[in-house]
Amino acid sequence: MYNTVKLEKGLYSITGKTFTQALQQLDPDENYAGTELAGLDAYERQLKRFDIKVSGVNSDRVEKFFASTESAVLFPEYVRRTIKQGMEEASILPEVVAAVSYTDGIDFRGLTVTKNGTDTGVAQGGEVPASTVRLASSAKALTKFARKLSCSYESIRKQRLEAFGVILKSLGAQISRAVNKLAITELTSGVTPSEISGTSLTYADLANFWASMSDNDMTTMVCTPALMAQILALDEMKFCVSDFMSSGKVKTPYGVTLVKSSAVDSTDIVGIDKTCAAEMVFGTDVVVDFDKLITTQCDEISCSIMVGFSKLTDGAVKVLSTEA
């Protein structure tokens, strides 16, 4: 049962397993089918075991994790999960990437798809048009993103975990915005921007931009908050208010999701077919220095992630320059 599992920091060091996966091996989820604990994973069951509440107005203080040597082992995973939550909340990647992969190396070779021939039909005995998939000609290094939070244990030990979690999520959001920037840079590399027809952006420019992706279906437009404000101010966009009220997302009348991000140049709109534009490759998940967090409590919290992007399909990314 979950309340007899021996917690030790060695659970963070098992090759090929996260801390939660190591816990699940000792305390399988299937043992709790049909019980009140069925909705919890192995880590959440340990929080229940030590009665640690990490969210809500009645959340515990940071020092609750350090009430015993075993409960202290849970603190690095709390930090990692909270930072990752902040990353996910600030990420634009669910609206951008088509596939997510993992590698054990520090670099990777992505796939490229090249289309040959025409789609007008094949004459008897004629050559069949082909789509060719190849590995990229050279390996691409993964990029490491990291942030460090300096804080003494004395300064945070009495803080509620709900409030401390806000700081950790902010740390994750900073990393995520840097990852967003890398994704946009990789996707727009080599893409020649088209231009608006006049001196200021119009709804017709947006519609023509959407239609310019003839072989793919533009699902996403990414632009800065200032440029998105211009788009939302267009008369035609007033019909999209109900979509935002119901889903929290802004879509154009023809179904393209608008995403605001400072990762894009201030005068550009990036159009993407998220079903085939890019692959995201992780070298690591979110990593925290578990040993330091356990043995010295939290004088310093450092976290990192290694990630890279590969463009999969030509023509699945377009750029519109609004600079007159």
Per-position DSSP letters for 35-87, written without gaps between them: STTTT--HHHHHHHHTT---SSTTPPBGGGGGGSHHHHTTHHHHHHHHHHHHH
pLDDT of residue 109 exceeding 60: yes
Predicted local distance difference test score (pLDDT) of residue 277: 93
Query: Look-up: residue for tokens 């089918």?
Result: 33
Predicted local distance difference test score (pLDDT) of residue 248: 65
Q: Is 100 strand, coil or helix? A: strand
| Token pair belonging to 13 | 């060091």
Q: Could you tell me the pLDDT band of residue 7, with boundaries at 50, 70 and 90?
A: very high
C-alpha Rg value of the chain to the nearest Å: 24
pLDDT in tens, 24-34: 999 999 999 98
Q: Looking at residues 1-7, what average pLDDT do you find?
A: 90
Q: Could you tell me the pLDDT band of residue 73, with boundaries at 50, 70 and 90?
A: very high
Q: Looking at residues 47-52, what average pLDDT do you find?
A: 96
7: left (phi over 0), alpha (psi -120 to 50) or beta: beta
Q: Give the number of other CB atoms < 10 A from CB of residue 307.
A: 21
Q: Looking at residues 282-310, what average pLDDT do you find?
A: 81
Q: Looking at residues 42-65, what average pLDDT do you find?
A: 94
Q: Is 118 strand, coil or helix? A: coil
Burial of 256: CB neighbours in 10 Å, binned 0-12, 13-18, 19+: buried
Predicted local distance difference test score (pLDDT) of residue 48: 95
pLDDT of residue 296 exceeding 60: no
For residue 201, what are the contacts with CB-CB under 8 A and spacing of at least 6? 227, 230, 231, 234, 322
pLDDT in tens, 265-288: 999 999 999 999 999 999 988 888
pLDDT in tens, 208-262: 999 999 889 999 999 999 999 999 899 988 877 666 656 667 888 888 999 999 9
Q: Could you tell me the pLDDT band of residue 305, with boundaries at 50, 70 and 90?
A: very high
pTM for this predicted structure: 0.87
pLDDT of residue 125 exceeding 70: no
Q: Could you tell me the pLDDT band of residue 129, with boundaries at 50, 70 and 90?
A: confident
Predicted local distance difference test score (pLDDT) of residue 171: 94
CA–CA separation, 101 and 133 (whole Å)? 17
Instruction: Identify which of 264, 155, 149, 254 has the alpha carbon closest to the alpha carbon of residue 211.
Output: 254
Predicted local distance difference test score (pLDDT) of residue 306: 95
CA–CA separation, 123 and 36 (whole Å)? 65
Instruction: Identify which of 51, 1, 4, 12 has the alpha carbon closest to the alpha carbon of residue 289.
Output: 12
Q: Give the number of other CB atoms < 10 A from CB of residue 176.
A: 23
Predicted local distance difference test score (pLDDT) of residue 282: 93
Predicted local distance difference test score (pLDDT) of residue 244: 66
Percent of the chain with pLDDT strictly greater than 90: 60
Count of residues in the chain: 324
| Token pair belonging to 229 | 């404000």
Predicted local distance difference test score (pLDDT) of residue 239: 78
